[in-house]
Structure 1
Amino acid sequence: MHARLQRRDIVTFHASRTTLLLGGAAFSGLAALPAHAQDVAPDADQPETATAAQDSGEIFVMARRRSESAQDIPLAVTVLGAQQLAETGAFNVARLQQIAPTLQLYSSNPRNTSLNIRGLGVPFGLTSDGFEQGVGIYIDDVYYSRVAAATFDFLDIAQVEVLRGPQGTLYGKNTTAGAVNIRTNQPTFTFEGNAELSLGNYEFKQARAAVSGPLSDTIAVRVAASLTDRRGTIFNVTSGQDIQSLDNLGLRAQVLWQPTDNLRVTLAGDYNKQDADCCGSVFVRTVATQRPLNRQFAALASALGYAPPSRNPFDRLTDLDSTLEAGNVIGGVSLRINWDVGPGTLTSVSAWRHWDWKPQNDRDFTGLAIVARSQNPSQQDQYTQEFRYAYTGTRFDFVVGAFAFHQRIDTQGTESQGAAASRWSIAPNNALAFDPTVLDGLTARNTQFLKSTSAALFGQLSWKVTDAFTIQPGARINYDKKEGFYQRRVFTGTGVELRGTETDARSRAQLGIFQPQLSAPQDSDWNFTYDLTLSYRLAPDVLAYGTYARSFKTIGINQNGLPTDANGVPIAAAGTIRPEQVDHFEIGLKSQVWDRRVTLNLAAFRTDIKDYQATVTNGQFGVLRGFLANAGKVRSQGIEADVSVRPSARFSTYANGAYTDAKYVRFVDAPCPPELAGGTTVGPGQTPSPAGTPGGLSPANCDISGQRLPGVSKWAFAFGAEANAPGSLFGEAGQFYLGYDGSYRSDFSSNASPSPATRVAGYSLSNFRAGFRSDRGLNIFAWVRNAFDEDYFEQLFIAPGNTGLIAGLPGDPHTWGGTVSVTF
């Protein structure tokens, strides 16, 4: 039995080729990376299949909740192995977008992180707890509801699978745009381990290690740890510190109990902590708005004697004067049971997750004491239970499952105004603008909670009608309930509470910044969704497929406060937003020729979403940071292709490309871009002023139908090559290698309503690596990332107040270093 257990738990694949998967509308993003970079772990529950595949060079995935060859499934999935991730510097989800063109991740801090596929997933901008994620993150079958988890380092990863398109009939939590399925290395019944150390400029240090082995004939354990540290890439002249640093710690332990061949019970726990000097921004530019000229950035800065430390954002200088903190702790415990029952496997996954977020920000983006303090710490507890049965047969395969989810998030927010707030935020024709005590110390204290509960039944059937033709239907029924609470209390600098009914001029000026509010939105909803995929094998290595999926994103609630009417009264009807209705179409072709040395995949997709859940950003300080609303309809469509060529074991190359046309089909009442905002709202019979007219008339909202969705480039590419030659080093036989990985993204909008002021220009990045791999697990290499020191932005931000200030987050500069790793 032990020999079988050993094979089941520790066998790994060394793929003889690079395979990039394309599936229903997405080509697999990294097809042609070198074979060594595609090392992946097989499914421990399918040892015979894994062993049979080892010599053929196939890559096995769990994308459909059972072990299958990646190239044989009609599903959009990119497979990334552990060695590939390490050598390309993709040590967290945020860095995957450089090697997976259809993935977009934007993060101004861990909480405000957006993970999208093909431009869809979550609204671009400030994150709200009140909506669901469109791209699900799963680690060892456990759903992670907070995208903040994407900012942590990968820890003892076996492989990452990026699935594109709706996944509600396969996965516990419904996801409308895709899923990131992460699998860690499992405990083994023979002793093994690995260790890695990287050093680089900016005082970069990263150490990772894992060890695994038996405690008895039936119990095995695995423990892993990761530590990453790097000083920041932006210098704060006010504090004298570098910000945007890295300070990550990760710990994971697993215990496997396997009393028989057909029962495996795994108890896992993890703890991840971040304590970086983060997060800030730099001055980028100003844009003319429709505010009166004396209330725009240049005039206000001059009146207060202020100038940014540099007007060149790539000097990487800032002067933020508020305390910055991004304390982030995520951890949890899971119990996974796999029991071979009859012809299939019954799986139970029980999990508890906790998230503790402790931020401090500078929301005015300047060195002025306008917003003195801005922080919204929160704590989340999440409980999930999934039951699943997976069957594989000669003519029929199927997966059926049930899923339950409960989440509670508590948030305690504090936002205070500073000594410069009066002059900045009160019109200068009001004498109170020149009295700093009016707003100095004005504080809003927010208390809120969210309770979210959902339950679902789901399943998918694969019917092999003939050896070539397969029909694959799936269905899901889902129930969701959300309950929220929000209370804002407002206090003057002397501690007096404002009730919102005060009529004196001083109080009205203060209430123009913060209004007390109380709301308790709640809603529930049932949804039934389904999908159908047809696939036909045109030749042994050529698969054609087509998919239609009807999916949904459930109801949302405005958890951060409600918008108000002209009289300042909260609009109760805005407390909840309608679910999204998703229609997804895709066709594709997966093919390999020349004895599988060449992979060519093509796909076309179209996703229409009615009642798209968008984020609306309010331009004033503290009135309302942002709220959710339904846009009429959006559409993402495009063509994706990848090609990889491996003519011999000594050379491989790949090129992947995606054209994505993602736009608002109908959004007639969207927030206006900064150049059309800040003026007096037009009344009946009036016409809005041209964009950028100081003191002009601004529309109440704007029709942005036909304009591009934020955060997604029309064109995205990833490409590279590696060559190697046999040799020896330190008496170890192996190969010397030289590799290159490049990427390009065209321009994209960094605001929900497109504006020239928030257009991020396209950019390209180049990464090189050179080193030696031994046949016995030693790998030594030097690396250079952003080799040509490309200046680019990850995001641009519109500063609050409609003053025309645009701030930004520059991407990482040129970095270099070296890595030594060993597997034993």
Structure 2
Amino acid sequence: MLAHLPLILLAQGAAAAPPPEPAQAAQPGQRASDPTQQTVDGNGDIVVTARRRAETEQTVPIAISVIGGRTLTDTGAFSVSRLQQQAPSLQFYSSNPRNSAINIRGLGAPFGLTNDGIEQGVGFYIDGVYIGRVGAATFDFVDVERIEVLRGPQGTLYGKNTTSGALNITTRAPSFSPEAQGELSIGNYDFVQAKASVSGPITDKLAIRLSSSATRRNGTIDNVASGTDLHRLRNLGFRGQVLYKPTDGLSLTLAGDFNVQKPLCCAQFYARVGATQRPVARQYNALAAAFGYAPPSLDPFDRVTDLDARINSRQEIGGASLVANWDLGPATLTSVSAWRYWDWQPANDRDFIGLPITTVSQNPSQQRQFSQEFRLASNGTNRLDYTVGAFLFNQTINTQGSQVQGAAASRFLLSGADAANPNVLNGLTSTNTISFDNTSFAVFGKLNWAVTDRLHIAPGLRVNYDRKSGFYESVVSIANSQYSFVATADNVAALLAANPAGSAARTTFQNQINTLAPQRYSPRFSAWNVSGDVTLSYDFARDIHGYASYAKSFKSGGINLSGLPLNSTSTGVDLTTQTVKPEKVDAFELGLKTQFLDRRVTLNLAAFWTEIGDYQATVNNNAINVIRGYLANAGKVRSRGFEFDSSFRPSKRLSLYVNGAYTDAKYVRFTNAPCPPELSGGTATAPGGVTDPAGTAGGRSPAFCDISGQRLPGISKWSLSFGGEVNKPVGSSGGQVYLGYDGSYRSRFSSNPSPSAYTWIDGYSLSNFRAGYRKGDFNVFAWVRNAFDQDYFELLSTQSGSTGLIVGQPADPRTFGATISRKF
């Protein structure tokens, strides 16, 4: 429904070269076997597999964006982080690959740092294989044919993790005709990107495809402390596929991929300072002055920092899959078997400045997953089509976390006499061992009943079982000239008893274990859940299709694996917070897909209303020791709005498009939310007690805040994408010159779980231009992205401890270069 027509017609239809070779026409209800090689049917319509069968995009009753491989090249969208400029309803946030979130219509994953024990709400699939963690989906796209962005709950066919939508990526399949293609891009910041693929037959029944991609770019942030550039790109990816077709009705595709990335990212640094409830002497400006410290620049868009801790974001991603499609005549049996892994090796500067507050903060992780799916789909011979199946998934994650405090930590994090003694926290170390195991099983079914030639009813049902178990242990130690101990969950009481109550030694020890608390717990969760949906669609005319849908969906419950808040004794953890209840989702949608003037004009509309009970949100209860926060169930959230997608192609020489989304997403009820920074850091008061106005130095802070009615983080009310392309023939050889433009706009959004006056990110617009020459399978063009050098933040965060420092992650500045590609 979305950007596919404006974008793919822009990239393909406007060309003077012949259109893509027509594939076998695929209408709703046609055969489900081996659809991945179909992109355009005999009528020139885009073919998708959003409902696990080949259908034309304009007739499938789902709000969907389709972004073709050529569009990805034209716009430089070579990873998921760059897709949101093409799909207005899509949001992507990342402070590093592990701490990434993909949201659709403002819903999907809680805003904040990653917790291994929770689910995402947007499913990510590549060639039918589910990717269990967003971090494992941040690889460069290699030889992608199309990306389908499915908006709204997709739980019946795509599972429990798709309460707000799914990204369905299809790569180019092996070909029995020899072919090859190459692409090379160069640009400023020493940007070089090379892509290549080759495919062809080995025998008349066996074909192979090999693809690779390599990206290198210098960083856009200068770290004056280390003399290195940050936010650089060092990416390498390979993908191989072997297709075996012993008969016309049977195909088996064995695929494997390997990706490695070695960037120095993702740096957040000084953006601004806001007043908190801390005493003036304990707020950022006074603390920095006490050390004689100043950042290298007070303008974050000078893009200089002095981070003094090691920075790294190395990750390795790979796996293998076997997809089998067997045409049985009345139905097609599909099997998808896959194993995948993700190894994450980070290093961060969690104090965000050039002082030794937190000198080490990292959570290396190793994820392994296995999945098996079976589907039986009818081949469209009757008025009643069906898809039934079963899905099995197992995932394990092992994480080895560590955090070390430096010589400046005491003054920044403590009060009283201990704040003036660097040794109280200098060298304080937390070593964490975290493990997670998740087994999930589901059976599902989807019907499509053609009541008449125009009216279709499509109900679906999925029954899912989840079992999750985990282990979290934090051992805290210190060894400097003044203090030495090792604290575990078992010996904290003994260590406290060794220090007399009310003594300075006891106060110091409590300050130390409250800063980094020793913990050990083993959470467990299991539950059955039922989700379902029903869609009514009606074909008013050949090119006018309407639909209405309702979905009852859920996102699985989870376990907290980032540390828990302390209980009232300040020596143990609150075990009531170790599990999180499932989200309960009710979603309504109305849609209309239309084309006019011999399909030169496309206008698609969708209106949606989604309510989520027991919404999973990140909280921290103002606890210093829980650096990463933990999950809890907010009362209820709501996301509602409308989307439109339009394209106009008056001639072969001109293509235009405008796509947009209005999203009103709020906390309907969240009475125990974490407070924004301007209300934190003061003297704690009991619930309902007297507090002081925001930003009152030395004031009283509420234990928690009621943010009911306020906007969810990360969501712009308005998001737009727009652009077009004009071309002109050159000579009589079929070549053409062209000029293209792609723009996007996002209105302002909150970058804090609880809206704060200090963390709103202003609205911004981006403009990308390209101009080039193409003839047949040859294309060369120059490009400039963020052409007007718009300064904007990808996200804003707060420094731990309510100091008032706000740090930001600036987006890329203007980049420019050229791309040349050729198919053989």
TM range (shorter): over 0.9
User: Which of 290, 310, 313 is residue 300 of structure 2 equivalent to?
Assistant: 313
Amino acid aligned to 2:735: G
- Residues 156-305 of structure 1: matches in 2 within 5 Å? 156-172=143-159, 174-305=161-292
Aligned partner (choices 544, 547, 551) of residue 546 of structure 2: 544
- Aligned-residue offset at 1:34: 4.2
Aligned match of 1:512: 514
Q: How many residues of Structure 1 are paired with residues of Structure 2 in the alignment? A: 796
Q: Counterpart amino acid of 1:443?
A: T
Q: Which residue of structure 1 lines up, in the alignment, with residue 401 of structure 2?
A: 413
Q: 2:476 aligns with which of 480, 490, 498?
A: 490
| Distance (whole Å) between structure 2 residues aligned to residue 763 and residue 353 of structure 1 | 37
Asked if 1:739 corresponds to 2:740, the answer is yes
Q: Find 2:365's aligned residue among 363, 369, 378.
A: 378
Provide the C-alpha distance between the structure 1 equivalents of 2:14 and 2:343, rounded to a whole number of angstroms: 35
Please report how far the alpha carbon of residue 519 of structure 1 lies from its aligned counterpart in structure 2 after TM superposition. 0.8
Deviation at 1:260? 1.0
SS of equivalent residue, structure 1 residue 252: strand
Instruction: Indicate the residue corresponding to 1:749 in structure 2.
Output: 750
The CA deviation at 1:406 is 0.4
Q: Is the 8 A contact 2:93 2:101 kept in 1?
A: yes
> Which residue of 593, 599, 604 corresponds with 1:601?
604
Q: Do the aligned partners of 2:223 and 2:307 also contact (CA within 8 Å) in 1?
A: yes
One-letter code of the match for 1:393? Answer: T
Task: Give the letter for the 1:296 counterpart.
Answer: Q
For 2:802, the aligned partner's letter is N
What residue is the counterpart of 2:320 in the other structure? 333
Q: CA deviation at 1:47?
A: 8.6
The corresponding residue for 1:16 is none
Instruction: Tell me by how many angstroms 1:571 deviates.
Output: 1.1
Equivalent of 2:140 in 150, 153, 170:
153
3-state SS, counterpart of residue 437 of structure 1: helix
Whichever residue aligns with residue 45 of structure 2, its letter is E
**Residues 51 and 77 of structure 1: CA distance in aligned 2, closer, same or farther (over 3 Å):** closer
Q: Which amino acid aligns with 2:128?
A: D
C-alpha change, 1:173 and 1:225, in structure 2 (3 Å) is farther
The aligned runs of 1:433-444 (5 Å cut-off) are: 433-444=419-430
1:808 and 2:808 correspond: yes
User: Does the Cα contact within 8 Å between 1:207 and 1:228 map onto a contact in 2?
Assistant: yes
Instruction: Tell me: CA distance 1:551–1:51, structure 2 relative to 1, closer, same or farther (3 Å).
Output: closer
TM-score for the superposition, normalised by structure 1: 0.94
Shift of 1:624: 3.9
Shift of 1:433: 2.3
Match of 2:661 among 634, 658, 661: 658
Structure 1 Cα separation of the partners of residues 612 and 727 of structure 2: 47
> 2:683: which partner in 1?
680
Give 2:533's match in structure 1, choosing from 509, 531, 536.
531
**1: distance between equivalents of 2:623 and 2:6?**
41
1:417-428 aligned at under 5 Å gives the runs 417-427=405-415
Q: Return 109-118 or 611-620, whichever deviates more.
A: 611-620
Shift of 1:390: 1.4
Q: Is the contact between residue 290 and residue 691 of structure 1 (CA under 8 Å) also seen in structure 2?
A: yes
AA aligned opposite 1:129: D
Secondary structure, aligned partner of 1:663: strand
Structure 2 contact 14–653 (Cα < 8 Å) conserved: no
Do the aligned partners of 2:160 and 2:553 also contact (CA within 8 Å) in 1? no
What does residue range 96-175 of structure 1 map to in structure 2 within 5 Å?
A: 96-172=83-159, 174-175=161-162
Mapped to 2, the partners of 1:676 and 1:685 lie a distance apart of: 15
Q: Which residue pairs with 2:771 in the alignment? A: 770
Alpha-carbon spacing, 1:548–1:121, altered in 2? closer, same or farther (3 Å): same
**Pairwise CA distance, 1:49:** 12
Change (3 A) 1:667 1:37: farther
Partners of 1:487 and 1:511 in 2: CA distance: 14
- 2:822 paired residue number: 822
After superposition, the Cα gap between the structure-2 partners of 1:617 and 1:87, relative to the gap in structure 1 and judged at 3 Å, is farther
1:797 aligns with 2:776: no
Query: Is the CA contact 1:619–1:800 (under 8 Å) kept in the aligned structure 2?
Result: no
Equivalents in 2 of 1:100, 1:587: separation in Å?
19
Cα shift at 1:529: 1.1
Q: Which amino acid aligns with 1:58?
A: D
Question: Given that residues 155 and 252 in structure 1 are in contact (C-alpha distance below 8 angstroms), is that contact kept between their aligned partners in structure 2?
Answer: yes
Per-residue CA deviations over 1:663-715 (Å, capped at 9, x if unaligned) read 00000000000001111111377311000001111110000000000001000
Residues 246-301 of structure 1, C-alpha deviations (whole Å, 9 max, x = no match):
11111111111111111111111100111111121121001100011111001100
Q: Return 5+ residue gaps in structure 1 as ranges.
A: 1-19
Given residue 711 of structure 2, which amino acid in structure 1 is its aligned partner?
R
C-alpha deviations, 1:131-175, integer Å up to 9, x for none? 111100100000001111332111010111000111111125541
Query: SS at 1:496's partner residue?
Result: strand
Distance 1:278 1:685, change over 3 A: closer
Q: Kindly tell me: are residues 549 and 334 of structure 1, through their superposed partners in 2, closer, same or farther at Cα, counting changes over 3 Å?
A: same
2-side partners of 1:49 and 1:396: how far apart? 23
For residue 169 of structure 1, give the secondary structure of its aligned residue in structure 2: helix
Q: How far has the Cα of 1:458 moved from its partner?
A: 0.9
Instruction: Check 1:659–1:51 CA distance in 2 against 1; reply closer, same or farther (3 A cut).
Output: closer
Separation in structure 2 between the aligned mates of residue 315 and residue 545 of structure 1, nearest angstrom: 50
SS of structure 2 residue aligned to 1:197: strand
Counterparts of 2:651 and 2:674, CA distance in 1: 55
CA distance in 2, matches of 1:51, 1:445: 51
Q: Which residue of 2 aligns with 1:6?
A: none
What secondary structure, in the 3-state scheme, does the structure 1 residue paired with 2:512 have? Answer: helix
Alignment-mate amino acid for residue 759 of structure 1: W
Equivalence for 1:500: 492
Contact kept, 8 Å, 2:179 with 2:200, in 1: the verdict is yes
- Whether the 8 Å contact between 2:160 and 2:556 is mirrored in structure 1 is no
Deviation at 1:556, TM superposition (A): 0.9
Q: Does 1:591 align with 2:594?
A: yes
- Tell me the residue number matched to 2:445: 459
**1:79–1:162 contact (8 Å) kept in structure 2:** yes
Q: Which residue of 2 aligns with 1:725?
A: 728
Equivalent pair of 1:439/1:493 in contact (CA under 8 Å): no
* Change in CA separation of 1:450 and 1:592 when aligned onto 2, cut-off 3 Å: same
AA partner of residue 354 (structure 2)? G
| 1:46 shift after superposition | 5.9
State the shift of 1:435 in Å: 2.4
Q: Deviations over 1:176-209 (max 9, x none)?
A: 0110000001111121111000000011110000
1:9 is matched with: none
Compute the displacement of 1:621 (Å).
4.7
- What secondary structure sits across from 1:492 in the alignment? strand
State the Cα deviation string for residues 747-785 of structure 1 (Å, max 9, x = none).
00001000110100000000000001112x101000000
Q: How many Å separate the matches in 1 of 2:77 and 2:36?
A: 29
Distance of 2:313 and 2:359 partners within structure 1: 17
Aligned position for 1:350 = 337
Q: What is the aligned-residue RMSD (CA, Å)? A: 2.0
Q: Is the 8 A contact 1:544 1:588 kept in 2?
A: yes
Does structure 1 conserve the Cα–Cα contact (< 8 Å) formed by 2:34 and 2:325?
no
Q: Which amino acid aligns with 2:383?
A: R
Paired residue type of 2:822: V
Letter of the 1:698 partner, please give it.
S
Other-structure match for 2:786? 786
